[in-house]
Amino acid sequence: MPTRKLDASEGSVSAWLVIALAIYLVRVMPWAMSELWYDEVITLGDYVFDIRGRGLGYVFRNYPVANNHILSSAVYWLWIRFIDFNVTAEHLVRAPSMALGALTIALVMGHWRVWLGKRLAILGGLLLAISPVFTAYAYQVRGYALTMALAAAAVSGAIEVINGRLWTGQVIVAATMLLLPIVIPSNVILAPVLALFIAIVLWQAGQSWTQCLLRILPALLASIVGFSYYFTLWEAFLAVSREPSGWPSAWMVAGNLTLALLAHAGLFAVTLVGAVVLCAGKRHARPPQPPFDPTLAPAGRDRDPVPVDAADSSNQHRQLPVPPGVAVGALTLGCVAVTAAVLLAARPGQAPYPRVFLVLLPPLTLAALLSGRVFAAIQRWPLMLAALLVVANGFVWERVSEAVTDAQLRRGATPNNLVQQYYRGADELRHLASLMAHQEWMENAIVVTDEYDFPTFRLYWQLAGGPYGTVIAINRIPDGFQVPRGGQNLWIVARNQEVAAGLYQRVTGGDADAIRQNFNRPGGLIEVAAYRRRGLFLPYMPKPPTIRKDLPPKTKNLV
């Protein structure tokens, strides 16, 4: 019996999901196995390890700085005890975040195809799996992976509401919007985005404004209730909010957000802009009497008022209650309006960090993918070609950003934005701490680092057996600190000779220019060891320590 050759788009979504998850693991695993960076160490040390034994409840009542992503810290509090405090296996420590990232990809490919169709859902999963924005935060011991997973679930709930499954959709939206502010307070900005999305689409589908308002109330009320948790910590919350932090310019934040959208969505960023322009220039007439009325569902049952589009059986997506451009425009309008409002409300010189807006990544991703239904030409491309373009975009952006970051690090900068992270994939501080333990240089040693390297190096110093209190951050030099006689045993961890000279000058009070000019000479510094982007420096001595070549010992469990 003759058989028809199937196009790749007609294959199993499950098979493509396996491919997407494999790409995701290949992308994030090297970063997950790298050393824990500044914010992760603070999260573990201040909230997760709980050395004083105050219990899980203390995580929910301790908010000294914004680093405590409360709900995420609680997850890690439980997880770190499940793995018996094995912080030497960084990928194991970060496993909850990586799992949440994988669940987000599965949600996009499994549920969003209700609107996207099989082909665009597959491309969406691949887009997230290789995205230099999504993957850069989906592995960290922070609240970003949980934020993006809950936000994706909230978008799914909004889709259910629009499709007429009110009970299911409202429960999902309310639950996720209740939890999101408890992860990070600023996550509350997703609520007005979803509200605008649901209201505009239903109104264009023929619903009255009263009905539209009733549909969006659960999202708004749940976000208010979730955010009200911080009223129980109001003094601490106000103190944190008053601390000077952020970027000096809102325009810089807007520029980085635009760059991140291009890096994340690639070709779909172009179609997104095109779809918004087309939607803005075209008037969409509302039906005189609403044919799309989810309130007519029988009591106690969910009903799907959106008929299956039989014209595209291979993609198996449902016909939207409005043209795709309207849904794209509604999502984009909500994200842009909320972002603009937040940036305009920011205090001068204290614009929010770009990562604050990661909660908007899922709705923008849906908008970008839906724009592929506006420009049907994309759906006529061979799926393998489209998939290769999506993967190539993420790969090229990551390689370019890595090269630019490396160049900036060599100049002493510490880029940290949605496209670049100075700490991504780093293992220098872990290696140098282990090297000092192996070479038996820890005895009587005092190590000076900059403020960025301090938490990470101190963690691995202690894991390697180094004495507590002998690692000093340059911005927190203890009162009465005295440099060892002759500078012996005063080690400096720095990116290069110039940075090391600056740190040494701040400790000793000498002439920084003279220290730089006398490198490898009396009055200057010598580099004892170098590894990738870091080096170990000592004050000049005629016979510096030499490195033995035998293998270093394994680090121990800190706890």
Complete edge-to-edge strand list for the sheet that includes strand 471-473: 471-473, 446-449, 490-494, 534-539, 525-531
Cross-strand partners of 247: 351
- Percent of the chain at pLDDT > 90 equals 61
User: Could you tell me if 441 and 545 are in contact, meaning their C-beta atoms sit under 8 angstroms apart?
Assistant: yes
User: So what's the pLDDT on residue 298?
Assistant: 35
pLDDT-based confidence at 485, cuts 50/70/90? low
Q: N- to C-terminal Cα distance for the chain?
A: 66
Q: If you average pLDDT over residues 118-125, what whole number do you get?
A: 95
Question: Which residue, among 336, 309, 319, 366, has the nearest Cα to 158 in the 3D structure?
Answer: 366
pLDDT-based confidence at 306, cuts 50/70/90? very low
Q: If you average pLDDT over residues 171-179, what whole number do you get?
A: 97
User: Could you tell me if 159 and 112 are in contact, meaning their C-beta atoms sit under 8 angstroms apart?
Assistant: yes
Backbone φ and ψ of 6, nearest 5°: -85, 140
Per-residue model confidence as pLDDT tens digits over 210-263: 999 999 999 999 999 999 999 999 998 988 888 778 899 999 999 999 999 999
Of the listed ranges 55-69, 341-355, 537-551, the least confidently predicted one is: 537-551
User: So what's the pLDDT on residue 516?
Assistant: 80
For 423, half-sphere exposure in the C-beta direction (CA atoms, 13 angstrom radius) is 25
Per-residue model confidence as pLDDT tens digits over 273-298: 988 888 776 665 555 544 444 444 33
Q: If you average pLDDT over residues 109-134, what whole number do you get?
A: 94
User: So what's the pLDDT on residue 384?
Assistant: 93
Show Cβ contacts of residue 329 under 8 Å, excluding neighbours closer than 6 positions. 200, 275, 276, 279, 280
User: Could you tell me if 24 and 135 are in contact, meaning their C-beta atoms sit under 8 angstroms apart?
Assistant: yes
Per-residue model confidence as pLDDT tens digits over 391-408: 999 999 999 999 999 999
Q: Is the dihedral of CA 33, 34, 35, 40 positive or negative?
A: negative
Q: If you average pLDDT over residues 385-392, what whole number do you get?
A: 95
User: So what's the pLDDT on residue 345?
Assistant: 92
Q: Is the pLDDT of residue 307 over 90?
A: no
Structure tokens at 468: 């507590």
Show Cβ contacts of residue 9 under 8 Å, excluding neighbours closer than 6 positions. 118, 119, 122, 314, 315, 383
Show Cβ contacts of residue 469 under 8 Å, excluding neighbours closer than 6 positions. none
User: So what's the pLDDT on residue 551?
Assistant: 52
For 531, half-sphere exposure in the C-beta direction (CA atoms, 13 angstrom radius) is 15
**Mean per-residue pLDDT of the chain:** 87
Q: Is the pLDDT of residue 304 over 60?
A: no
User: Could you tell me if 143 and 35 are in contact, meaning their C-beta atoms sit under 8 angstroms apart?
Assistant: no
Q: If you average pLDDT over residues 423-443, what whole number do you get?
A: 93
Q: What span, in angstroms and rounded, lies between the C-alpha atoms of 87 and 115?
A: 42
User: So what's the pLDDT on residue 282?
Assistant: 66
3-state secondary structure of 451: coil
Q: What span, in angstroms and rounded, lies between the C-alpha atoms of 197 and 536?
A: 54
User: So what's the pLDDT on residue 288?
Assistant: 52
User: So what's the pLDDT on residue 3?
Assistant: 47
